[in-house]
Structure 1
Amino acid sequence: MKISDLIGEATEYDKKETLEERRPKSWLKSVSAFANGIGGALIFGVTDNEEPVGLSDSKDVSEKISEIIKTKMDPIPQVIMEIHEEAGNEFVILRVPSGIETPYYYIGEGNRTAFIRVGNQSIPAGTIDLKRLVLHGSNKTYDSLTSQYKYENFAFTKLRSVYRKRAGQELEESDFTSFGLTDVNGMLTNAGALLADDSPVRHSRLFCTRWYGLDKASGVMEAIDDKEFSGSLVTLLQSGEEFVKNNSKKRWKKTANGRLEMPDYPERAILECIVNALIHRDYLDLGSEVHIDMYDDRLEIYSPGGMYDGSQVQNLDTDRVPSRRRNPIIADIFNRMNYMERRGSGFKKIKGDYRKEVNYKEALEPKFYSDNSSFWVTLYNLNYNVPVEKVDFGDEKVDFHSKKVDFEGQKVNIEFIETALTEMKVNLPTKEKAKEVFLSFGIQTVFSRKEVAKLLEISPTSASNLLAKMDKAGLLETVVGQGKGKYRFR
């Protein structure tokens, strides 16, 4: 490691030319901010102009740093001190890991001040920031806190109905406490209040707008469609999906094998984005709500609250973002209803849905952006400025709802497949997975458990369970002579 690799001051790093003993706040605010955030490093011996000049007595500096932290910080954060030698100079690198006892305060001038990191600056935490830090430090989340509302005063018709449909079972009274929607005294938690039919959490709203043109000020007409939704989070999700569907189009074209559909936006990507916006939003921010803004060429979804760990999504590999949930109880309920998975694969799935579409190209890759207080996702209209006659139909996709589909010269009655899927005694997500397997492999293609697992991004065990259910429904036949565990549709 070289000092030159660290001195580019950013969110995770700060620098000081010398130890300012009489002005400890000048550098302890960074220690506080790092401990209250995702951690960072403070380098002593580097000028504001990023010139590595070193220290005259690095050992003495390190001892004084430790003493000042003990007397000026509460609680005392964990720190790691390192004396680094380079090009004849000595530097002190003070590493501060992300703390678990937040908020970490700087004590001085008769005040206790907690700092947070915004960009490359350490600033005093505001009221909402302090609430977040206190919750984090007490190992609690907003959705787990008990509200002032009694369970007996609210209905959960929408939640029960969707849970029955998507999970394949009833939502029992005892489940409300088991799932964290009520406490033992019959009071709703914030999660329960957010999922009630007439949610009393008034700032839990969804604003949807279909703008005219490419921005919010086209000069001709401001908005083509404008809706505001409130109520249960399940209602908000369904309303958001419906708004996008009503304000987008789906092209199609007949092909040799059926009909090829080309939506403006992949439906699964839309669902994933709205689910994430509602589940992971910061409900401590009382002055904001989730927004869906549609333009001719794109769709933008805004959610209050940045990444839960304070990182910036645009600086991360979105295929490998670990799952950290701001509202784990709400996330668990949506997982039980098969709207999302427990593993952190949302970003990857959204990009994967786009890459499967006919009109996809790299310039239309979904974009993700976050800062300290907001999260944005931009989905591009796959059909914008694409003439119909110039669409590339290299990888043709079959319309499942066509009554007759030609697979390599054979006429197959798709009504049999639809009937068999309908009669499968499984929940809706399992039926959708079976449908996707059929759309991908068709009648003649032989496939294995491994190929199904890769297609659906599920485990081999889950793939085996799905194949067993499809076989029981009469959809599959075992293929012999091509290795063990090979199947195709009847």
Structure 2
Amino acid sequence: MKIKELYPDVIAEDTEYEYKATLNPDKPIKWAKTIVGYANGNGGTMFVGVSDSGEAFGIDLDEIDKTKLLIAKINDRHIFPHAKIRYMMRSVDADAEKFVLAVNVIQADSVVRYKEGDFNETVYIKGDGNSTPASPEDIISLSKRKFGVDNETSEILYAENQWREYLDLCREYREESSIPTIKDLQNEEIVSKEGYAKSGFLMFSDDYDGDDSLICCRLWKGKDKTGIVLDSGRYKGSLAKVFKNALNFIERNTRTGWRKTESGGRDEVRAYPKEAIREALVNAIAHRDYSIAGTQIDVDIYIDRIDIVSPGSWLLPKSYDRYPIGFIPSIRRNSIIAACLDMANLMERGGTGFQTMVESYKGSAEHLQPGVLIYPGFLDLRLFDLIYEDSAMLVVQDELSDRQKVLEILRTEGSKHVKELQIVTSYKSRSQFLSEVINPLIEEGVIYRDGNAKSPKSLIKLKNK
């Protein structure tokens, strides 16, 4: 049977297609470049179980399952951003023992490349029947007609008054509280020589409102997500703003303890070292895959750990556990976003972020060391609570914070007046309670006021997520 007889509806649409007898797992580049070429073009279909002459001989179901798993593996490890793929299978015999697998590749929104090793990546485009490496001119052309490329030059001129949140971040973390000059930004290619911001830098601008900057934070009562959510926050906007908001969320929802010294004094011990929290968040923002639509960075605080989960596959050739602790090579998925964080003194070019996290946990038990859990398309950076298991530790802030008490009452008892909520907290001043607890929660979209702000009869309600 000819393939055109088996798939007349697919081939008749004038989409590009290629025939493959099987996919070689030992030399994936031979067929993976076809997937990359289709993704960089207008899409296309690769038929597996078909000879070069178009004869559809088919493969069995076991081979089809292996083929799908192989494609998923190569797509996850070597193709970035990941190609969007759909499958279709049709039998070539009356007994339905052999099938042709149609691998349909969807046109990508950004430039797709094949990555082999630490620093070797190639952009492939479809030529006359073959997928070939793109020339620099081809890549520039691709970048201009694709959307959302990290280092694409925008039409927005850089102006300090449109990047105030980012510059405030620089003042906080750079030496001598300085801010970068436009020359500094141009030297790092964050801004073009003509003064136009790169697309990655736009995500740090004050008016950025893209869904891809979303960070969702939750505080759980137990050790998993089946427990009660005690506090939550959804932060979007400029990457500078969401970084600060997420950092503040973790800070107010983690504990501090005291350990007695030999001299009779006390040493303060934080549940999570500040350096580790900061580096983990920076890592998630810098390395997440922004091409995966409908996803966000998730920060989940449990009673014994914090999981910071970001979209994007593991980029290194070896698994996490095959690298010595604290010596993980640095590969940047988003060069401009990483450069912006580097410029703010939040990220170092040498890839020492994970080493900093490990150093902050120095002296802790081996099972409490920071770790990376790798899932298909996601990375989970896990930090453990250093005082959770320490029975000799005098823990402070062990009770619910005033903010958590307010949220817990609204969840369990429903709407309340401000006065009713203030009673369960430590606040004596109504104005201070409003400015430090109620108003921030309203601004974050966690709660809302039903009624006039000046009326004592207005109710505070929990916002449905």
Q: What is the deviation of 1:352?
A: 2.0
Is 1:207 the counterpart of 2:203 in the alignment?
no
Secondary structure in 1 aligned to 2:358? helix
Secondary structure in 2 aligned to 1:144? coil
Q: What is the deviation of 1:240?
A: 1.6
Q: What is the deviation of 1:342?
A: 1.1
Q: What is the deviation of 1:269?
A: 0.7
Compared with structure 1, are the counterparts of its residues 151 and 145 closer, same or farther at alpha carbon in structure 2 (3 Å cutoff)?
Answer: same
Unaligned runs of 5+ in 2: 1-18, 38-42, 55-66, 85-105, 115-120, 124-135, 144-148, 396-465
Q: How far apart are the structure 2 equivalents of 1:205 and 1:167?
A: 29
Compared with structure 1, are the counterparts of its residues 348 and 25 closer, same or farther at alpha carbon in structure 2 (3 Å cutoff)?
Answer: farther
CA contact (8 A) 1:154 1:198 kept: no
Q: What is the deviation of 1:346?
A: 2.4
CA contact (8 A) 2:171 2:179 kept: yes
Q: Which residue of 384, 387, 394 corresponds with 1:383?
A: 387
Q: Which residue of 327, 337, 348 corresponds with 1:330?
A: 337
Stretches of 4+ aligned residues off by more than 6 angstroms: 72-75, 105-108, 113-116, 120-124
Q: How far apart are the structure 1 equivalents of 2:304 and 2:319?
A: 25
> 2:249 maps to what in 1?
243
**Backbone CA RMSD of aligned residues:** 4.1
**Overall identity of the aligned pairs, in %:** 25
Describe how 1:410-421 pairs up with structure 2 within 5 A. Answer: none
- AA in 1 matched with 2:311: P
> 1:190 maps to what in 2?
199
Compared with structure 1, are the counterparts of its residues 389 and 302 closer, same or farther at alpha carbon in structure 2 (3 Å cutoff)?
Answer: closer
Q: How far apart are the structure 1 equivalents of 2:239 and 2:266?
A: 35
Q: How far apart are the structure 2 equivalents of 1:114 and 1:157?
A: 48
> 2:171 maps to what in 1?
164
- AA in 2 matched with 1:388: A
> 1:173 maps to what in 2?
182
Q: Which residue of 9, 14, 28 corresponds with 1:32?
A: 28
In the superposition, the TM-score normalised over structure 1's length comes to 0.53
CA contact (8 A) 2:358 2:370 kept: yes
Moved more, 185-194 or 318-327: 185-194
- AA in 1 matched with 2:271: D
Q: What is the deviation of 1:345?
A: 2.4
Unaligned runs of 5+ in 1: 1-22, 38-71, 76-102, 392-490
CA contact (8 A) 2:201 2:340 kept: no
> 1:355 maps to what in 2?
362
Q: What is the deviation of 1:118?
A: 3.8
Q: What is the deviation of 1:243?
A: 0.9
CA contact (8 A) 2:163 2:206 kept: yes
CA contact (8 A) 1:167 1:337 kept: no
CA contact (8 A) 2:36 2:112 kept: no
CA contact (8 A) 2:170 2:345 kept: no
- AA in 1 matched with 2:251: K
Q: How far apart are the structure 1 equivalents of 2:264 and 2:361?
A: 22
- AA in 1 matched with 2:388: Y
CA contact (8 A) 1:237 1:274 kept: yes
Q: How far apart are the structure 1 equivalents of 2:334 and 2:36?
A: 27
In the superposition, the TM-score normalised over structure 2's length comes to 0.55
Number of paired residues?
A: 301
Q: What is the deviation of 1:239?
A: 1.5
Compared with structure 1, are the counterparts of its residues 125 and 205 closer, same or farther at alpha carbon in structure 2 (3 Å cutoff)?
Answer: closer
Q: How far apart are the structure 1 equivalents of 2:348 and 2:235?
A: 25
Moved more, 334-343 or 373-382: 334-343
